[in-house]
Amino acid sequence: MNDEQILDKLKEILEESFEISPERVVPEANLFKELDLDSIDAVDLAIKLQQLTGKRIKPEDFKTVRTVGDVISTVKQLMAG
């Protein structure tokens, strides 16, 4: 999966799970400040990404995630590893 495909999948997940309009999901958007996710939402998102990648996300790997771009990088690392 390339960055654009991951972003498209992320838009779907955020829209279905958190009712965030896809136009707001851009790489520089902050998950917590701009997209209004909270820590429980972040855990839900991590679980959905695990389902997408088939790989387990360690909580410490997800602690540094702040933006949509960070999520894309994390998913790419998981899929590469």
Alpha carbon of residue 53 to chain centroid: 11
Residue range of the domain that includes 20? 3-80
**Domain count for the chain:** 1
pTM confidence score: 0.91
Alpha carbon of residue 52 to chain centroid: 10
- 12-49 pLDDT, tens digit per residue, is 999 999 999 999 999 999 999 999 999 899 999 999 99
**CATH at residue 11:** 1.10.1200.10
Note the Cα 15 to chain centre separation in Å: 12
The band of 61, judged by pLDDT with boundaries at 50, 70 and 90, is: confident
